[in-house]
Amino acid sequence: MATSIKDIELSNKRLTEILDIANDWSLCHGISILDSGDAENDGKKAITAPFSLFPSVVPAQILRQAQKSMKHFNLLMHKVALDHSFLENSLKNVIQADDFMKRLWDIYLQVREVGIKQPFYFGLFRNDFMMNCLKSITAGDLVTADQLELKQIEFNAISSSFAGLTEQISELHRLTLIMVGKKFESQQLPENKPATGFAEGLAKAWELYGNANAVILYIVSGNERNVIDQRWLEFQLYETHPHITVLRKTFLDINNLGVLDSNSVLTVNGMEVAVVYLRDGYTAENYSSEEEWNGRLKLELSTAIKCPSIQYQLMGSKKIQQELARPGAVERFISDASVVQDLRRTFADLYSLDLGPEGDEAVEKALASPEKFVLKPQREGGGHNLYSEDITKFFTLHRNSKQREGYILMQRIFPWQQKNYLVKRGVPFQLSDVVSELGIYGVYIGSAEQEIANYQCGHMMRTKITGTDEGGVVAGFAVLDTPFVI
């Protein structure tokens, strides 16, 4: 593999041996998700999370560009979240069309009405990109950085996952490359410590809250499969800050056990909560009853530092991403023209679908060539977008209806195709044509006046078979991967 997986020559026997070693290495090092079996009756069963056998290639310039932009994205998104009129103008039509967004918006209004009790905001973000290929090439052929453009797919402001598992994948790939005799410089598989960076953020937010007896509260779902990834952060935190207690509770627990005192201090089982870290609550299905919504509201009304607060969650919606792409929108928040240009360069073409001539024009464009677009609702976690003929079907049904305002239209990115072996149930283990999505992790802590932390803390890749529309590892589309830098 001078520069590509295609160059690795392996006998089938050796390949099978390496696969076996990689599988066992993954089990030993906690690259795991829980099996979807019946945890209550069978006990917990972990299986290896899907992964690629080798890393996928990323030009150094592209990785650097993505990393360099992260601090600016952190600050931009923080400022967006604190700008009430920007949020309101951007989301006013979405909340009419989408009940889930309306519920989030109503919580935000309630929190504003009684007065925001915690001035500090805390984000553990992941900004996702694809490398759009400017020329048509055969899978596995090399392209240079100038034939690729880094394009933002989305900015995740809630429950950004895989900081934990991805640290281990970098080490796994070091091993598999060495086993096939691939020579590489250590910086080609760069050190990658996002879980460490996230744990530092959690500890910093906890310190900022200022009560040595208070706890960090994870909000998790009762049927979560990605528990090990969450635990990696928690265990990292114990290693560096063993005096901090971490609780894991559901929204329902908070509804039942959480107490807000007259100063809006939140306690759970008598323990004061300093930081709330949401690994649940990003999509409508996470709130199956009013009690769960009430649990969320209780958190938002408290003095605890929330990761994320309701404003941060709203800021991370696809609608805000689309509104930020309008001329002048980024400029509202950032005055440095060269920074604005660096961020804007990564934006794909994005279109509002609000009723009116602008939205009508976008609908016409999508109907004329649906294969060039992705239609996105305000959802997270993979599996919600519409592509190709589903776009046509959607607009045939909802051409002029309010419903279209709950969605945005996005230019479809056609990423650089490479070759790799994916290790995943239901996918044949063979050299396959694949495409990757690069995520950059970032931490931000700040108030309207003060910045406490703003850093970029690592990367991850998710890789899928070419032609698979959706992404998402737990959702079942992609595998975990890391960049091999050339």
So which residues are the catalytic ones?
A: 126, 154, 156, 161, 318, 376, 380-381, 462
| Minimum separation from the CB atom of position 80 to ligand ADP (A) | 17
Chain center to CA of 309:
16
Per the annotation, does 412 bind a ligand? Answer: yes
Using CB under 6 A as the binding rule, the residues of this chain from 113 to 172 that contact ligand ADP are 128, 153-154
Per the annotation, does 387 bind a ligand? Answer: yes
> Which of 381, 427, 452, 476 touches ligand ADP (CB under 6 A)?
381
DSSP, collapsed to helix, strand or coil, labels residue 418 as strand
| Minimum separation from the CB atom of position 116 to Mg ion (A) | 25
Centre a 10 Å sphere on the Cβ of residue 83 and count the other Cβ atoms it contains: 17
Q: Of the two residues 270 and 467, which places its CB atom closer to ligand ADP in the complex?
A: 467
Q: Which partner, Mg ion, ligand ADP, none, binds residue 385 by CB below 5 to 8 Å per kind?
A: ligand ADP
| 385 contacts Mg ion (rule: CB under 5 A) | no
Using CB under 6 A as the binding rule, the residues of this chain from 406 to 425 that contact ligand ADP are 410-413
| 436 contacts Mg ion (rule: CB under 5 A) | no
Best CA proximity match to 156, nearest among 8, 297, 317: 317
Letter for the amino acid at 448? A
| 349 contacts ligand ADP (rule: CB under 6 A) | no
| 481 contacts ligand ADP (rule: CB under 6 A) | no
> Which of 182, 193, 365, 384 touches ligand ADP (CB under 6 A)?
384
The residue of the chain with the least Cβ separation from ligand ADP equals 471
| Minimum separation from the CB atom of position 284 to ligand ADP (A) | 13
| 433 contacts ligand ADP (rule: CB under 6 A) | no
Per the annotation, does 200 bind a ligand? Answer: no
Q: Of the two residues 152 and 456, which places its CB atom closer to ligand ADP in the complex?
A: 152
Per the annotation, does 476 bind a ligand? Answer: no
| 380 contacts Mg ion (rule: CB under 5 A) | yes
Q: Of the two residues 94 and 348, which places its CB atom closer to ligand ADP in the complex?
A: 348
| 374 contacts ligand ADP (rule: CB under 6 A) | yes
Q: How far apart are CA 60 and CA 25, in angstroms?
A: 28
Per the annotation, does 318 bind a ligand? Answer: yes
Using CB under 5 A as the binding rule, the residues of this chain from 140 to 199 that contact Mg ion are 154, 156
Contact positions toward ligand ADP, by CB under 6 A?
A: 128, 153-154, 348, 374, 376, 379-382, 384-385, 410-413, 437, 470-472
Please give the annotated binding residues for Mg(2+), written as ranges: 154, 156, 380
